Amino acid sequence: MAKLKLGTIPDDKPVKLTVELPAAIHRDLVAYGNALGRETGQGAVEPAKLIGPMLARFMATDRAFAKLRRVGSAAPRPQPASPGSEKTT
């Protein structure tokens, strides 16, 4: 059996989003969840629990996105004004 890109899905506090997916993608997510469950011994994984780790994996392996994040984090960030630093005229 081929090794899947995702491993065990961590159980952490999620942020709820509502999205619409094409039926074909949902079917593929169900199939992937079944395959992942067999591979990890967890049992079938719900499609909704796959989306976050899949997106995280996608973004982690996207070299252009990583470069943009590095460049963006190197830019100086504006500091919020401290109390009393406002000029009055």
For the whole model, what pTM was predicted?
0.64
Q: What angle do CA 46, 48, 53 make, to 5 degrees?
A: 100
| Tens of pLDDT, residues 8-55 | 877 778 788 899 999 999 999 999 999 999 999 989 999 999 999 999
- Number of C-beta neighbours around residue 37 at 10 A: 15
Separation between Cα atoms, residue 41 and residue 52, nearest integer Å: 20
DSSP track, 11-56:
------------HHHHHHHHHHHHHHHHHHTS-PPPHHHHHHHHHH
Average pLDDT of the segment spanning 56-76? 83
At residue 72, the pLDDT reads 78
